Amino acid sequence: MAKISVSRLAKMKQEQEKITCITAYDASFAAIFDQADIQVLLVGDSLGMVLQGHDSTLPVTVEHIAYHTAAVASTTEKSLIIADLPFMSYSTPEQTYNNAATLMRSGANMVKLEGGTWLSESVKGLIERGIPVCGHLGLTPQSVNVFGGYKVQGRADEQADKLIEDALALEKAGIQLLVIECVPVALAERVTKALNIPVIGIGAGAETDGQILVMHDAFGISAGFCPKFSKNFLVETGDIRRAVELYKEQVENKIFPGSEHSFY
């Protein structure tokens, strides 16, 4: 099987085939996910919490993400690799291009950044320079201090309309994938229908084009708190490879996420 491309992901949306994504930070897990035909691996700045033990993603640097991206890329043949641009690494277009180039040189196939309309110029510039971009809206963990905690976003009508406006602006600027995190199911469905590009949810219900989980949450091994929207697939299977298969099967068949993992 060839490397998953952004056009393959777009086709999956058109054909209503669910896309399965998971975070990966090292060579061994990346190989397991790749062999299980997980379409997208995200080298997320969540590594600041699940690997480094911080209480937020803010201490993560471009060098950290580049190091883990290279490890993931070393064993990944088919899955598309997205690398997160960490906190304050994309404040200006120039800074964004330089840091995105570092991540692409480390083995990423796409970069992800958190935020809405204000990123349009940087997104357009990245695409023009040959770097595919994934957006991230809703609960954007790098803004935890602005939100005052890890809270569900987009519950108020005004907030929900703003999220749709941001999603459309990012799509117009050129993003080819969007992650939405911790939003009510109805809003996630609105965004998914409003956009032509695939929308991947985490804590956003089953109506998005695909799902992503932090791998430590999917295996129930996170040291701290495990979010309500996640599920421990290892406890049911007792085997890592089987847990990954079960996650993929349940995403494809819209069994996961269930109503108990969703916000209304």
Which residues line the annotated binding site? 45-46, 84, 112, 114
User: Active-site positions?
Assistant: 181
Contacts 24+ apart (CB under 8 A), 87-95: 87/45, 87/57, 87/58, 87/60, 87/142, 89/61, 89/62, 90/119, 90/122, 92/122, 93/121, 93/122, 93/125
Q: Which is nearer to ligand KIV, 14 or 144 (CB)?
A: 144
Type and span of the H or E element at 32: helix 27-35
Which of 95, 12, 82, 10 has the alpha carbon at shortest distance from 45? 82
Q: Which is nearer to ligand KIV, 42 or 158 (CB)?
A: 42
Binding pattern for the stretch 148-187 against ligand KIV, x by CB under 6 A and - elsewhere: -------------------------------x-x------
SS in 3 state form for 166-177?
HHHHHHHHCCCE
Q: Which is nearer to ligand KIV, 13 or 64 (CB)?
A: 64
Q: Is 40 in the site for ligand KIV (CB under 6 A)?
A: no
Q: Is 19 in the site for ligand KIV (CB under 6 A)?
A: no
* Phi-psi domain of 81 (left: phi exceeds 0; alpha: psi -120 through 50; beta: other): beta
62's tokens? 């471009």
97's tokens? 């291009």
Q: Is 60 in the site for ligand KIV (CB under 6 A)?
A: no
Residue nearest to ligand KIV (CB): 44
Q: Is 110 in the site for ligand KIV (CB under 6 A)?
A: no
Q: Is 202 in the site for ligand KIV (CB under 6 A)?
A: yes
Q: Is 111 in the site for ligand KIV (CB under 6 A)?
A: no
Q: Is 212 in the site for ligand KIV (CB under 6 A)?
A: yes
Q: Which is nearer to ligand KIV, 14 or 137 (CB)?
A: 137
> Which positions lie near ligand KIV, rule CB under 6 A?
23, 42, 44-46, 84, 136, 179, 181, 202, 212, 214
